[in-house]
């Protein structure tokens, strides 16, 4: 089935939409049925041509059923209607034409058939281009939907792993830590020297619990909701700074309220990837996460003092592609560039809906 063509803007949208639906419907029908309307229109044109006579020529209007036949059923149907149009024109004007010889009248018919043939191939070329454009648009839409599904599945899987770490592994380690504490207390009560080793084991387990919880929180930021984007970014700064030793601070000009939790999650993931890139690849020692709320735009900026992006860095990396795609899903503008003084600046500007701004003003 041929995919529908994109509708033009403006007042022609409804007419074009109706024509596209009719075209789709006729292309699904058997060939003999889809060619009947152009044949019928051709006969009507011949009757009108016969009534008006030679002085009022309807020759150019014979192209209408030819165009319809080609657009609906292809080049073969167009050539059939072309032949019928020539025959109809011949009989409609056979008694009123001004040619003195039959050869002249036959030559006129040949010229008209040649014109109709040109129309057939021109419309067929336009149809192929329109079908190719529509197929390309459909392919892009399917690719876009596939990318959205991949991001969604990845997000859900991260959340599942985060919950499993928090509710499973963390609780299991905590229970082992309690058991180690009880063991250490019993060894101390008996004045056994190995009590010190038991205490060290218990402290190591508690540290493992803390790191597992931080990891789970990074995978599944439970506080990312309409009121918690700032809190989640602050937690990201604290936990990453504690684990890596990099100085990370949060700057915020106003309290941010987002109606869509998914939008907050995408912004959080963009910041998380930008911070991770600054630590791993940029060797940054200081990172600033800025959240600035304007009248119509929410701007999130992550800046670092690292080595910046190398000139040969691939823009097709998975992390950068995911960041850009998340921004695209939000309808936000995102830029990644080197700072003049060194380091990298990642800026994501999200247009705010009117109702979100009004809700913010009410608070």
Average pLDDT, the chain: 79
pLDDT for the residue 355: 39
> pLDDT tens-digit profile of 326-360?
888 888 999 988 888 888 999 999 988 643 444 44
Confidence of residue 304 (pLDDT cuts 50, 70, 90): very high
Decide if pLDDT at 363 tops 70.
Answer: no
Confidence of residue 289 (pLDDT cuts 50, 70, 90): very high
pLDDT for the residue 207: 75
pLDDT for the residue 288: 92
Pairing mode, if any, of strands 286-293 and 247-252? parallel
Chain mean position to CA 178: 49
Pick the CATH number of 222-362 from 3.40.50.720, 3.40.50.300, 3.30.565.10, 3.90.230.10: 3.30.565.10
Chain mean position to CA 6: 16
> pLDDT tens-digit profile of 60-107?
888 889 888 888 888 888 889 888 888 888 888 887 777 878 888 888
Confidence of residue 300 (pLDDT cuts 50, 70, 90): very high
**Taking the CA atoms of the chain, what radius of gyration do you get in angstroms?**
36
Q: Domain ranges for the chain, please list them.
A: 10-148, 222-362
pLDDT for the residue 303: 92
> pLDDT tens-digit profile of 221-238?
645 554 578 888 888 888
pLDDT for the residue 357: 43
From 110-114, 168-172, 273-277, 352-356, the region with the lowest mean pLDDT: 352-356
From 165-169, 224-228, 261-265, the region with the lowest mean pLDDT: 224-228
Cα-based angle 348, 349, 354 (whole degrees, multiple of 5)? 145
Decide if pLDDT at 12 tops 60.
Answer: no
Decide if pLDDT at 2 tops 60.
Answer: no
Distance CA 97, CA 95 (A): 6
pLDDT for the residue 112: 86
Per-residue DSSP letter, 353:
P
Decide if pLDDT at 191 tops 60.
Answer: yes
pLDDT for the residue 361: 44
Between 36 and 174, where is the model more confident? 36
Confidence of residue 178 (pLDDT cuts 50, 70, 90): confident
Query: How many helices and strands (H and E) does the chain possess?
Result: 12, 5
Distance CA 93, CA 52 (A): 10
Decide if pLDDT at 256 tops 50.
Answer: yes
Distance CA 273, CA 236 (A): 11
From 112-126, 237-251, 252-266, 324-338, the region with the lowest mean pLDDT: 252-266
pTM here? 0.50
């Amino acid at each position: 089935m041929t995919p529908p063509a994109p509708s033009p803007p403006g007042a022609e949208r409804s007419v074009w939409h109706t024509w596209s639906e009719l075209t789709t419907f006729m292309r699904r029908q058997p060939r003999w049925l889809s060619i009947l309307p152009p044949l019928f229109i051709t006969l009507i044109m011949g009757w009108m041509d016969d009534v008006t006579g030679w002085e009022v020529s309807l020759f150019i209007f014979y192209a209408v059923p030819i165009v319809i036949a080609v657009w609906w059923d292809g080049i073969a149907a167009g050539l059939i209607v072309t032949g019928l149009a020539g025959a109809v024109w011949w009989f409609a004007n056979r008694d009123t034409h001004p040619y003195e010889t039959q050869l002249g009248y036959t030559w006129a018919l040949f010229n008209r058939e040649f014109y109709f043939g040109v129309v057939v191939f021109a419309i067929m070329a336009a149809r192929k281009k329109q079908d190719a454009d529509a197929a390309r648009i459909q392919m892009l839409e399917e690719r876009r939907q596939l990318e959205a599904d991949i991001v969604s599945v990845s997000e859900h899987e991260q959340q599942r792993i985060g919950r499993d770490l928090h509710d499973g592994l963390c609780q299991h380690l905590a229970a082992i830590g309690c058991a180690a504490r009880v063991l250490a207390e019993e060894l101390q009560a008996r004045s056994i020297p190995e009590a010190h080793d038991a205490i060290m084991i218990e402290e190591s387990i508690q540290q493992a619990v803390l790191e597992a919880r931080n990891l789970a929180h990074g995978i599944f930021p439970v506080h990312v909701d309409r009121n918690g984007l700032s809190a989640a970014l602050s937690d990201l700064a604290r936990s990453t700074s504690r684990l890596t030793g990099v100085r990370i601070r949060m700057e915020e000009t106003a309290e941010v309220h987002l109606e869509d939790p998914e939008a907050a999650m995408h912004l959080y993931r963009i910041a998380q990837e930008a911070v991770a890139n600054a630590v791993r690849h940029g060797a940054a020692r200081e990172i600033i996460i800025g959240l600035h709320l304007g009248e119509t735009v929410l701007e999130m900026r992550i800046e670092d003092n690292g080595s910046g992006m190398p000139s040969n860095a691939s823009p097709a990396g998975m992390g950068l592609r995911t960041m850009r795609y998340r921004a695209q899903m939000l309808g936000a503008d995102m830029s990644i560039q080197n700072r003049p003084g060194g380091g990298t600046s990642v800026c994501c500007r999200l247009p705010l809906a009117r109702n979100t701004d009004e809700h913010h003003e009410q608070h």
